[in-house]
Amino acid sequence: VRVKKESMKSKAPAKLGKEKDHPPPPPPEVHEPPSSDRKDGATYNTGRCLGKGGFAICHEGQLAGTKQKYALKIVKSHMPQKKMEQKFQTELQIHSKMRHANIVQFHRAFSFNQCTFIVLELCPNGSLMDMVKKRKYVTEPEVRYWTVQMAGAIKYMHSKGIIHRDLKMGNIFLDKDMNVKVGDFGLAALLVTGKDWQAHRRTTLCGTPNYIAPEILAKDKGGHDHAVDIWSLGIIIFALLTGKPPFQAATQEEIYRRARELEYDWPKLDTSENYISDETKDLVAGLLQAPEKRPDPDTIVQHPFFTCGWMPQDEEMTPSLRERHPD
Ligand code: ADP
């Protein structure tokens, strides 16, 4: 199991690459070469830097002659390490096939100046990590709203046979209306090519029992590989409400041990703002269970947590967040 510690403190999270692996900042104009669906190519006027990842930098880009703004994710075309190149190829392949309201939309990719540019939906309000750093923690109504959206994105990915495997606050972005958008498919895995997950389960299970190899049964019992994303959702909900992940510890071994033993405590209340209901605790306990016991996204959104308190309407998210937390 791969666990990356998501740092709550440092601005640049520790990632795979080193500084020299990043491409240089893009020139003011970036040219997309002509292609079959854009015979004249295109020009993007680049803007502010949105952030840096392990080997990517991300800048705002406006499609010249339009008001359309995007996030341009830029990586060097020739990466020094094979591992990174692989990560990036997976990311391109998987992300380009995703289309969902709560997944950062992939628009196109092209080469320019020895770099690969990915044109993504712009999420101008940062990540959930930025949000929690700014606010310390968020409220149950906000978590209700975002969890429904995250569950929707997870349901969609799993129905396509995709396990994200790296869901965390820093990989979940906020669009201009404060909707969450899952991004960064660099560690995602394609479970079953070309088939949807449920169909795969049906076909693998309809063989004659006597002839089915144990590893297929094991695989199915654990068709539970995808449950890793449900676990992550549990961690995200806890961290959003309390400001820190449940199994936080000084060393990686200690984090693993605490997670194995499900050793976590909800903090004591200090204000009515960070009130944590029994329904929340029950929901999180359900997500942080053995993989075969974790609920699927449809079951998650049926949980009393979603009806025991206020659920913001779409239009209530933006103004309330802005009012309480002016920049
Ligand atoms: P890497 O795959 O190298 O980790 P990321 O995908 O995490 O790179 O992107 C690096 C940073 O760029 C992110 O932490 C975030 O700040 C910013 N970023 C990425 N995608 C978007 C987006 N669609 N909209 C706005 N900012 C983004």
Task: Quote the strand ranges of the chain, DSSP E.
Answer: 29-32, 42-52, 57-63, 69-76, 106-112, 115-121, 162-163, 172-174, 180-182, 189-190
- Say if ligand 1 is within 6 A of residue 61 CB: no
Active site residues: 166
Residues β-bridged to residue 173: 127, 181
The mean pLDDT of 258-263, rounded to a whole number, is 93
Q: Ligand 1: which of 98, 104, 184 to mutate, judged by most atoms within 8 Å of the beta carbon?
A: 184
ipTM of model: 0.96
At 219 the pLDDT is: 52
Q: Ligand 1: which of 46, 50, 125 to mutate, judged by most atoms within 8 Å of the beta carbon?
A: 50
Averaged confidence pLDDT in the chain: 84
pLDDT (tens digit, 9 = 90+) per residue, 300-325?
999 999 999 889 888 888 755 655 54
CA 61 to chain centre: 22
Residue 93 CB coordination number (10 Å): 12
Quote the ligand 1 centre to 206 CA distance (angstroms).
42
Residues β-bridged to residue 162: 190
The mean pLDDT of 228-242, rounded to a whole number, is 95
Could you identify the residue written with the tokens 């449950």? 227
The two tokens of residue 265 are 């405590």
Specify the pTM: 0.85
The two tokens of residue 230 are 């449900």
DSSP 238-255: HHHHHSS-TT--SSHHHH
- Say if ligand 1 is within 6 A of residue 23 CB: no
CA 110 to chain centre: 23
- Please state, for a pLDDT cut of 70, what percent of the chain lies above it: 80
The mean pLDDT of 73-97, rounded to a whole number, is 84
Quote the ligand 1 centre to 23 CA distance (angstroms).
14
Quote the ligand 1 centre to 265 CA distance (angstroms).
31
pLDDT (tens digit, 9 = 90+) per residue, 167-218?
999 999 999 999 999 998 887 877 754 444 455 554 445 556 666 666 555 5
